[in-house]
Structure 1
């Protein structure tokens, strides 16, 4: 699974409000690049590498969620410190999977 690509509950389906939804694709490419201190080309390279799969607006423009922006910012940080893009993407993918597994483990333990 591509990091940051999870199903978002449909509005009104009992899911969280869009403003609180970490997965809601609220940010345009320009705004997303500005927020993480990267170029739009960097975000395009993450899409081309298969690391992020931003949703597309009706006009075909990429839209990013806060979760995706955190992942992209982490990749940028690693690349800025000399890690190759492919390796940085793999590291962040593994970190994200570990974090998700730990979160699920905590939920399961608290449900007992």
Structure 2
């Protein structure tokens, strides 16, 4: 039985190519500087990516009427519950904070 291969979006391929381009830089100073700039910008870039994913997950849910299990399959390697949390904008850090707060409340 042939294994199905998931098609990789061009944008993902481009991002990986950009990372390879950093690694291929001959000038250690230039490479270090360029990678450091990306790392400084990464918190904002990561936040933008999470917001974009949240928006698209909500469009899948509301406009395309997809179920949480279907959306989880699109995201990949997450449970339907996690897909729903993504739709609500809950990051991993926020989920852990909420879980800690719930454990600290008496009677829970």
Q: TM-score, with normalisation over the residues of structure 1?
A: 0.29
Larger Rg: 2
The structure, 1 or 2, with the larger RCO (C-alpha pairs under 8 Å, 6+ apart) is 1
Query: Greater helix share, 1 or 2?
Result: 2
Query: Greater strand share, 1 or 2?
Result: 1
